[in-house]
Amino acid sequence: MRTRAILGSILASTSVLIVGYQAGVSVTTSDGTSVSLPVDAATNGTAGNTNAGNGSSTPGTGTAAAAPAASGPADGTFTGSSVSTRFGNVQVAVTIASGSITDVTALQLTDDDGRSVQISNRAAPILRTEVLSSQSAQVSNVSGATYTTDAYLSSLQSALDQAGA
Amino acid sequence: MRTAFPTMGTMASVELPAAWASEVNEVQRIFRTIDDRYSLYSPDSELSLIAAGTTSLSHASPPLLASYARALEWRSATGGNFSPHRPDGTIDLNGIVKAEAIEQAGEHLTAVGCPEWSINVGGDILVSPTGAATPATASASPLGPRVMRAGIAEPLSPTELLCSLELRHPRRAIATSGSAQRGDHIWRAGSTEPVSFVQVSVVANDIVTADVLATAIVAGGQTALDDVTDRWDVDVVAVDRAGALRATPGLLHALATKI
| pLDDT average, residue stretch A8-26 | 47
* Cα A21 to Cα B110: distance, rounded to the nearest angstrom: 53
Question: How many beta-carbon contacts under 8 Å exist across A and B?
Answer: 181
Nearest CA in chain B to A117: B233
In the structure, what pLDDT confidence band is assigned to residue A165 with cuts at 50, 70 and 90?
low
Question: Given phi > 0 = left and psi -120 to 50 = alpha, else beta, which region is B190?
Answer: left
In the structure, what pLDDT confidence band is assigned to residue B113 with cuts at 50, 70 and 90?
very high
Longest dimension (CA), chain A: 68
Closest to B50 (Cα-Cα) out of B36, B40, B63: B40
In the structure, what pLDDT confidence band is assigned to residue B202 with cuts at 50, 70 and 90?
very high
In this predicted model, what pLDDT tens digit does every residue of A74-118 receive, in sequence order?
A: 788 888 777 765 555 667 778 888 877 777 776 666 655 555 555
Distances (CA, A) of A126 to A52, A119, B167, B218, B251: 9, 19, 21, 18, 11
Strands A34-36 and A26-28: antiparallel
* Cα B237 to Cα B150: distance, rounded to the nearest angstrom: 13
Write down the mean pLDDT value for chain A.
60
Closest to A117 (Cα-Cα) out of B233, B169, B204, B171: B233
In the structure, what pLDDT confidence band is assigned to residue A131 with cuts at 50, 70 and 90?
low
Is residue A24 scored above 50 in pLDDT? Answer: no
Cβ(B47)–Cβ(B93) below 8 Å: yes
What integer pLDDT is reported at residue B122 of this predicted model? 93
Closest to A132 (Cα-Cα) out of B182, B256, B39: B256
Considering only residues B257 and B35, tell me which one the structure prediction assigns the higher pLDDT: B35
Q: Write down the domain spans for chain A.
A: 12-70, 75-163
Query: What 8-state DSSP symbol labels residue B91?
Result: B
Is residue B89 scored above 90 in pLDDT? Answer: no
Closest to A13 (Cα-Cα) out of A109, A102, A100: A109
| Dihedral of the alpha carbons of B147, B149, B154, B157, in degrees to the nearest 10 | -30
Which candidate from B2, B181, B201 shows the least CB-CB separation from A161?
A: B2
Rg of chain A on CA atoms, in Å: 22
CA-based nearest distance B90→chain A, Å: 22
In this predicted model, what pLDDT tens digit does every residue of B212-237 receive, in sequence order?
A: 999 999 999 999 999 999 899 999 99
Q: From the candidates A109, A128, A140, A153, which should be mutated to test the interface with B, based on the most B CB atoms within 10 A?
A: A140
Is residue A40 scored above 70 in pLDDT? Answer: no
Nearest CA in chain B to A128: B245
How many CB atoms are closer than 10 A to CB A76? 19
Which candidate from B176, B238, B252 shows the least CB-CB separation from A144?
A: B176
User: In this prediction, does ipTM exceed 0.90?
Assistant: no
Which candidate from A49, A126, A158 shows the least CB-CB separation from B245?
A: A126
Backbone angles phi, psi at B196, to 5 degrees: -75, -40
Nearest CA in chain A to B232: A121
Query: What 8-state DSSP symbol labels residue A98?
Result: T
In the structure, what pLDDT confidence band is assigned to residue B97 with cuts at 50, 70 and 90?
very high
What integer pLDDT is reported at residue A97 of this predicted model? 81
* Cα A124 to Cα B145: distance, rounded to the nearest angstrom: 29
| pLDDT average, residue stretch B120-144 | 70
Q: Is B52 exposed, middle or buried (0-12, 13-18, 19+ CB in 10 A)?
A: exposed
CATH code, A75-163: 3.90.1010.20
Which candidate from A130, A142, A165 shows the least CB-CB separation from B123?
A: A142
In the structure, what pLDDT confidence band is assigned to residue B256 with cuts at 50, 70 and 90?
low
In this predicted model, what pLDDT tens digit does every residue of B9-35 receive, in sequence order?
A: 999 999 999 999 999 999 999 999 999
Contact B153 A143 (CB under 8 A): yes
Is residue B201 scored above 90 in pLDDT? Answer: yes
Question: Given phi > 0 = left and psi -120 to 50 = alpha, else beta, which region is B201?
Answer: beta
